[in-house]
C-alpha cells in the first residue's frame, strides 16, 4: 500500500488531504475537550462558590434568628426579674417554655453577669414542644461570644464558638435591669446539627466548617474531622479560594471562604467531581464522535472532490501523457475545469496540438524532401539519360519542378532575347505565354536567382496568380527559365533546390542538344560512309562496265579487224564511243558535283528558251530512249523563257528525263510539260514508272542516295543525278519537287523564274 502511495501522486494528494482532515479534526476535538474541561472547572467553581454563598447566607439566617430570639427573650420584661431572683424556678420555667418553641438541638442558656452559665434548656427532637434535660452547662462557661458582647461588640448574625469539644453557633443578648447587665441569654445550636439541617445530602454537595484551619464540622466522612485544610488553601486568610483535591478517595471541587460569625472560621462547600467528570467524559465522547463523524464526512467529501477535481483529471492527464508517449498526438484530454488542472489540460492539449502540427510539418517536410529526392533522382536519371530526347528531358524537369514546389502549373521558357515556352505541365503553352509574356520572362530571368512576379492582367481563370521565375544559367549566362504559376504564397518555396534543378537541367539540356547534334552528325557520317561505300561500289560498277565494254570491243576489233566488214567495225566503234561518252558524262557529273560542293561552279544566267533546252536533253538521251523502248512526248511551248544557264538547264532536264526513261516500263510514254504560272515557268517530267515510296521521296535528292541498291543496279546510275539537279536548280533560283506513287509513276517539277 505504501509502495502504491509512493508511486501515485493522486494517492499522495488524497493521503495529504485525509491527513489534514484528521489533524484538523483531532485538533478540533482536543480544543473542544480542553474548552469543555475549562468550562467544567468553571462550572464546578461556580457551583462551589454558589454553595458557599448559600451556606453563608443560611448560617447568617440561622445566626440572625438565634440572635434575635435571644434578644427577644432578654428584652422580655419578666426576664430581668427572674435573673435577679434567687429563686431559679421562674427562670427555669421561662427557659423551658422558650426552648419548647425551638427546633430540636437548639439550647437556651442563661448566664450570669460574668458570663458563667446559670441554667440551660435544650429543645428535644423526640417530643417537640417539650423541654429537654439541662445541658452540660460547663461547655458554655466563658464563651468568646459573651466576652466580645461584654466588650461592646455586636454580632447580629451570631457567633461561632467553641463550646467544650464541639462548635456552636450562638446569638448572645444581655439582660438588663435599670441600666445594669444582670446576665446574658445565649441561644445556640450545635454546628454539627445545624450542618445536617442545612445540607441536603442528595445534592452531592458537602459542607464543612474549619476552625483555626482544622476541619471542625463536616457533612463529609467524620474521619476527616480534625484534619487541616487541603494543601494549597491553608495559608490563605479569610478570602475565598477554589481548589480541586482528593478526599477519602473522591475528587472534590471545593470553595472556601470566610464567615461573618468568627475570624477563626472558614466555610467550605465541596462538590463531588464525579458528576462533572462523568458529564465531561460524556461530552468528550460526544465531541469525539462528532469530530469522527465530521472527519468521516469531510473525508468522503474530500474523496468525492479529490476524485472529481483531482484524481479523474489527473488520470485523464496521465492517459493523455501515455498516449503522447506512445506517439499518438491526436487525442485530447477532457479536463475543462477553470483550475490549475484545467490550465494544465489546456496547455497539454495545446502542447499535443503543437507536437502534432510539428510532427505533421516534419513529416510533410520529410515527405517533400523524399519527394524532392525522388524527383531529383528522377531528374538526375533524366539528366543522365539523353536517349529519351530533349522533349522527354524537359518534361522530366517540369515533373521535378512540380514535385519540389508542390505546384501543378509549371512551364519552361527557352532563350533569353525572345524567350519561348518550350514545355509546360498542368497549363497550356498559350495560357503560360499570356500569363508571362516573353518580355516579362526576359526581365525576370536576367534578375536575381529567382523572382516572384505579380501578373498584371491574367486571364479570368488565372486571377490572383503569381509567377515564380527561376533562371536557367549556362556558362554564367541565362538561357531560359523555369516558371511556376500559382495562387498560393510563393515565398516559402525552396529556391536553392530549384536553382540546383534549373542549373542541372540547363547543363543536361545543353548536353542533350550537343548529344543530339553529335548523334545526328554520327548518323550522318555513318550514312555518308554507307553512301560512300555504295558510291564506290556503284562508281566501280559504272566505271568498269563501260571500260570493260571498251576494252572488250577494242580487243574484238583488234582480233577481227581483218575479218569484220566496215559496217561491223563502225558499229563496234559506235559502241566504244557510247561507252566512252557514258564514262565522260560520269566523270563530268562527278566533277560538276565537286565544283558545286567547293563553290566553284559558275553559271551564266541568261534568258533561255525552255523548249530548246528540253529538246537538247531529249536528243542527248535518245540512245537510252531507244534502248528502253519508251516514247518521250514533249509539250513545252516555244515561247517559254527562263533566266537560266542553257547548258545547265539541259543538264537538269537530261538527268530528269534519263531517270524517267530508266524507271519506265517499255512502251510507255514519258511526258514533258511546260507552263507559265505566276511569273514562273514550271517544267514537269511525268513517267508511268516504278514510282518512289513516300519515305524515300526526300532522300532521293541526297547525293549518292539510291532507293534500293539491288534494284538500282538493275537500272544503273550513281545516285548523284538528282543531287546535282537540286544544286543546279537552286543555283538558278529555282525549285525542284517530286510527287510519286509507288507502281504508278513519278512527276518531277522544276520551277524557274520566267523571263518575258
Spell out, one character per residue from 571 to 610, where the chain touches ligand ADP: x when CB under 6 A holds, - when not: ----------------------------------------
Region class of 176: left (phi > 0), else alpha (psi between -120 and 50), else beta: beta
631-635 and 669-677 strand pairing: parallel
Q: Does 450 interact with ligand ADP (rule: CB under 6 A)?
A: no
- Annotate 469-505 with b (16+ C-beta within 10 A) or e (fewer): bbbbbeeeebbbbbbbbbeeebeebebebbbebbebb
21-to-28, 45, 286, 700, 708 alpha-carbon distances in Å? 10, 35, 18, 114, 115
User: What is the rounded CA–CA span in Å between residue 510 and residue 516?
Assistant: 10
DSSP-assigned letter for residue 162: E
Grid cell listed for 596? 558545286
- Does residue 746 interact with ligand ADP by CB under 6 A? yes
> Which residue's C-beta sits nearest to ligand ADP?
717
Size of the site for ligand ADP (CB under 6 A): 20
Q: Which is nearer to ligand ADP, 277 or 543 (CB)?
A: 543
The distance of closest approach from Cβ of residue 714 to ligand ADP in the complex, given in angstroms and rounded to an integer, is 10
Residue owning grid cell 489546456: 346
- What distance in Å separates the CA atoms of residue 416 and residue 428, rounded to the nearest whole number? 21
- Per CB under 6 A, the list member of 159, 329, 465, 663 interacting with ligand ADP is 663
Q: How far is the CB of 620 from ligand ADP (least distance, A)?
A: 15
Mark the segment that binds ligand ADP (CB under 6 A) among 45-53, 87-95, 392-400, 721-729: 721-729
Task: Answer yes or no whether residue 535 interacts with ligand ADP by CB under 6 A.
Answer: no
Instruction: Kindly state the smallest distance separating residue 625's Cβ from ligand ADP, in Å.
Output: 14
Measured in residues, the chain has a length of: 756
Cell of 566: 566496215
What is the residue whose three cell numbers read 513516300? 694
Q: Which is nearer to ligand ADP, 453 or 670 (CB)?
A: 670
Distance between CA atoms of residues 99 and 721, nearest Å: 195
Pick the binder of ligand ADP from 29, 108, 722, 750 (CB under 6 A).
Answer: 722
Question: CB 471 → ligand ADP: shortest distance, Å?
Answer: 49
**Residue spans of beta strands (DSSP E) within 428-562:** 451-454, 466-474, 477-486
If one asks whether residue 717 binds ligand ADP (CB under 6 A), the answer comes out as: yes
Minimum distance from CB of 551 to ligand ADP (Å)?
23
Are 177 and 81 in contact by the 8 Å Cβ rule? The answer is: yes
Q: How far apart are CA 66 and CA 59, in angstroms?
A: 10
Q: How far is CA 417 from its chain centroid?
A: 52
Q: How far is the CB of 549 from ligand ADP (least distance, A)?
A: 18
Nearest approach, Cβ of residue 670 and ligand ADP (Å): 9
Contact (CB, 8 A) for 143 and 163: yes
**Closer by beta carbon to ligand ADP, 397 or else 707:** 707
The C-alpha atoms of residue 512 and residue 657 are separated, in whole angstroms, by: 44
**Residues from 603 through 662 that contact ligand ADP (CB under 6 A):** 655, 659-660
Q: Which residue in 65, 135, 419, 689 binds ligand ADP (CB under 6 A)?
A: 689
Q: How far is the CB of 717 from ligand ADP (least distance, A)?
A: 2
Query: Taking CB under 6 A as the rule, does residue 157 contact ligand ADP?
Result: no
Sign of torsion over alpha carbons 77, 79, 82, 88 = positive
- Tell the smallest beta-carbon distance from residue 529 to ligand ADP (Å): 19
Distances (CA, A) of 283 to 38, 45, 244: 13, 18, 20
Sign, CA dihedral 515-517-523-529, equals negative
Give 347 or 730: the residue with its C-beta nearer to ligand ADP: 730
* 478 near ligand ADP, rule: CB under 6 A: no
| Residue among 352 and 706 whose Cβ is closer to ligand ADP | 706
State in angstroms the smallest separation of the CB of 722 from ligand ADP.
Answer: 3
- Contact in structure between 197 and 219 (CB atoms under 8 Å): no
Candidates 169, 690, 736, 752; binder of ligand ADP (CB under 6 A) is 690
Three cell numbers, residue 587: 566523270
| Shortest distance, position 559 Cβ to ligand ADP, whole Å | 34
Q: Of the candidates 237, 250, 247, 91, which has an alpha carbon nearest to the alpha carbon of residue 175?
A: 91
Q: Of 436 and 700, which has the nearer Cβ to ligand ADP? A: 700
Q: What does the block give as the cell for 543?
A: 566505271
Using the minimum distance from each CB to ligand ADP, give the nearer residue, 383 or 700. Answer: 700
In angstroms, give the least distance from the CB of 590 to ligand ADP. 11
Distances (CA, A) of 384 to 286, 388, 463, 510, 512: 99, 10, 38, 12, 9
Choose between 218 and 746: whose C-beta lies nearer to ligand ADP.
Answer: 746
Residues 221-280 that bind ligand ADP (CB under 6 A): none
For 411-428, the DSSP string reads EEEE-SSS-EEEEEESS-
Which of 126, 71, 132 is CA-nearest to residue 99?
A: 132
Shortest CB 386 distance to ligand ADP, Å: 34
> Interface residues for ligand ADP in 697-716 (CB under 6 A)?
700, 706-707, 712
Q: Under the criterion CB under 6 A, does residue 718 sit at the interface with ligand ADP?
A: yes
From 47-55, 308-316, 521-529, 687-695, span contacting ligand ADP (CB under 6 A): 687-695
* Closer to ligand ADP by Cβ: residue 309 or 715: 715
Based on CB atoms, which residue is closest to ligand ADP, 397 or 690? Answer: 690
| C-beta closer to ligand ADP: residue 233 or 655 | 655
Q: Which of 719, 726, 728, 734 binds ligand ADP (CB under 6 A)?
A: 719
Helical spans, DSSP H, in 409-494: 429-435, 438-445
Residues 223, 201: Cα–Cα separation, whole Å:
17
For 179, phi and psi rounded to 5 degrees? 80, 0
**What is the layout of strands, in order, in the sheet containing 477-486?**
420-425, 409-414, 477-486, 466-474, 451-454
Minimum CB separation of residue 574 from ligand ADP in Å reads 23
Please report how close the Cβ of residue 548 comes to ligand ADP at its closest, in angstroms: 19
State which of positions 552-571 bind ligand ADP (CB under 6 A): none
CB nearer to ligand ADP: pick between 256 and 663? 663
Q: Which is nearer to ligand ADP, 427 or 670 (CB)?
A: 670
* Residue given cell 454563598 in the structure block: 53
Looking at the Cβ atoms of 345 and 721, the one nearer to ligand ADP is 721
| Residue selected from 442, 687, 688, 726 as contacting ligand ADP according to rule CB under 6 A | 687
> Shortest gap between Cβ of 747 and ligand ADP (angstroms)?
9
Q: Please name the residue that has the C-alpha cell 431559679.
A: 88
Binding site for ligand ADP (CB under 6 A): 655, 659-660, 663, 687, 689-690, 692, 700, 706-707, 712, 717-723, 746
Amino acid at each position: 500500500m505504501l509502495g502504491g502511495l509512493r508511486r501515485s501522486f493522486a494517492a499522495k494528494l488524497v493521503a495529504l488531504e485525509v491527513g489534514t482532515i484528521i489533524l484538523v479534526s483531532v485538533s478540533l476535538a482536543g480544543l473542544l475537550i480542553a474548552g469543555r474541561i475549562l468550562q467544567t472547572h468553571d462550572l464546578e467553581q461556580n457551583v462551589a462558590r454558589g454553595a458557599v454563598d448559600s451556606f453563608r447566607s443560611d448560617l447568617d439566617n440561622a445566626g440572625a434568628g438565634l440572635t434575635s430570639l435571644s434578644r427577644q427573650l432578654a428584652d422580655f420584661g419578666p426576664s430581668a426579674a427572674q435573673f435577679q431572683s434567687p429563686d431559679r424556678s421562674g427562670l427555669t420555667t421561662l427557659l423551658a417554655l422558650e426552648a419548647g418553641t425551638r427546633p430540636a438541638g437548639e439550647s437556651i442558656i442563661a448566664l450570669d453577669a460574668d458570663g458563667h452559665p446559670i441554667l440551660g434548656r435544650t429543645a428535644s427532637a423526640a417530643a417537640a414542644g417539650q423541654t429537654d434535660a439541662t445541658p452540660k452547662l460547663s461547655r458554655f462557661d466563658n464563651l468568646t461570644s459573651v466576652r466580645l458582647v461584654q466588650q461592646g461588640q455586636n454580632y447580629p448574625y451570631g457567633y461561632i464558638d467553641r463550646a467544650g469539644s464541639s462548635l456552636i453557633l450562638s446569638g448572645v443578648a444581655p439582660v438588663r435591669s435599670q441600666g445594669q447587665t444582670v446576665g446574658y441569654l445565649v441561644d445556640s445550636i450545635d454546628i454539627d446539627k445545624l450542618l445536617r439541617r442545612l445540607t441536603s445530602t442528595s445534592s452531592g454537595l458537602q459542607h464543612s466548617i474549619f476552625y483555626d484551619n482544622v476541619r471542625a464540622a463536616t457533612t463529609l466522612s467524620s474521619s476527616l474531622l480534625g484534619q487541616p485544610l487541603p494543601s494549597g488553601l491553608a495559608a490563605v486568610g479569610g478570602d475565598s479560594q477554589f481548589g480541586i483535591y482528593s478526599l477519602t478517595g473522591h475528587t472534590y471541587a471545593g470553595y472556601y471562604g470566610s464567615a461573618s460569625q468568627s475570624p477563626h472560621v472558614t466555610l467550605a462547600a465541596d462538590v463531588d467531581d464525579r458528576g462533572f467528570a462523568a458529564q465531561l467524559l460524556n461530552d468528550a465522547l460526544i465531541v469525539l464522535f462528532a469530530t469522527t463523524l465530521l472527519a468521516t464526512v469531510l473525508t468522503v467529501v474530500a474523496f468525492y472532490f479529490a476524485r472529481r477535481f483531482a484524481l479523474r483529471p489527473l488520470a485523464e492527464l496521465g492517459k493523455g501523457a501515455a498516449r503522447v508517449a506512445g506517439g499518438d498526438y491526436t487525442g485530447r484530454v477532457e479536463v475543462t475545469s477553470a483550475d490549475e488542472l484545467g490550465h494544465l489540460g489546456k496547455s497539454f492539449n495545446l502542447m499535443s496540438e503543437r507536437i502534432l502540427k510539428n510532427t505533421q510539418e516534419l513529416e510533410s517536410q520529410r515527405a517533400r524532401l523524399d519527394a524532392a529526392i525522388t524527383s531529383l533522382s528522377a531528374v538526375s536519371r533524366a539528366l543522365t539519360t539523353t536517349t529519351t530526347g530533349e522533349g522527354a528531358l524537359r518534361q522530366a524537369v517540369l515533373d521535378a519542378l512540380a514535385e519540389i514546389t508542390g505546384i501543378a502549373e509549371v512551364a519552361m521558357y527557352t532563350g533569353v532575347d525572345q524567350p519561348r515556352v518550350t514545355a509546360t505541365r498542368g497549363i497550356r503553352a498559350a495560357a503560360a505565354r499570356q500569363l508571362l509574356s516573353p518580355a516579362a520572362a526576359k526581365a525576370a530571368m536576367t534578375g536575381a536567382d529567382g523572382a516572384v512576379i505579380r501578373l498584371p492582367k491574367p486571364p479570368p481563370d488565372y486571377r490572383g496568380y503569381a509567377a515564380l521565375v527561376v533562371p536557367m544559367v549556362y556558362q554564367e549566362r541565362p538561357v531560359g527559365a523555369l516558371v511556376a504559376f500559382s495562387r498560393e504564397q510563393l515565398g516559402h518555396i525552396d529556391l536553392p533546390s530549384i536553382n540546383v534543378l534549373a542549373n542541372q537541367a540547363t547543363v543536361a539540356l545543353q548536353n542533350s542538344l550537343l548529344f543530339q547534334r553529335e548523334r545526328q552528325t554520327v548518323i550522318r557520317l555513318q550514312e555518308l560512309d554507307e553512301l560512300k561505300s555504295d558510291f564506290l561500289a556503284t562508281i566501280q560498277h559504272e566505271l568498269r562496265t563501260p571500260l570493260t565494254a571498251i576494252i572488250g570491243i577494242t580487243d574484238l576489233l583488234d582480233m577481227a579487224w581483218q575479218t569484220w566488214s566496215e559496217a561491223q567495225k563502225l558499229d563496234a566503234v559506235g559502241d566504244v564511243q557510247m561507252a566512252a561518252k557514258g564514262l565522260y558524262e560520269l566523270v563530268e557529273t562527278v566533277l560538276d558535283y565537286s565544283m558545286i560542293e567547293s563553290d566553284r561552279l559558275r553559271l551564266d544566267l541568261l534568258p533561255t528558251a525552255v523548249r530548246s533546252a528540253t529538246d537538247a536533253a531529249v536528243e542527248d538521251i535518245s540512245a537510252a530512249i531507244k534502248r528502253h523502248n519508251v516514247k518521250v512526248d514533249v509539250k513545252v511551248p516555244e515561247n517559254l523563257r527562263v533566266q537560266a544557264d542553257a547548258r545547265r538547264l539541259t543538264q537538269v532536264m537530261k538527268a530528269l528525263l534519263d531517270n524517267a526513261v530508266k524507271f519506265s516500263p517499255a512502251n510507255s510514254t514519258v511526258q514533258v510539260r511546260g507552263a507559265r504560272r505566276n511569273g514562273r515557268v514550271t517544267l514537269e517530267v511525268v513517267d508511268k514508272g516504278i514510282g518512289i515510296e513516300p519515305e524515300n521521296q526526300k532522300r532521293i535528292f541526297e547525293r549518292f542516295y539510291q532507293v534500293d541498291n539491288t534494284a538500282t543496279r538493275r537500272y544503273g546510275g550513281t545516285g548523284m543525278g538528282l543531287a546535282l539537279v537540286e544544286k543546279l536548280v537552286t543555283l538558278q533560283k529555282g525549285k525542284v519537287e517530286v510527287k510519286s506513287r509507288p507502281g504508278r509513276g513519278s512527276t518531277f517539277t522544276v520551277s524557274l523564274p520566267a523571263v518575258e
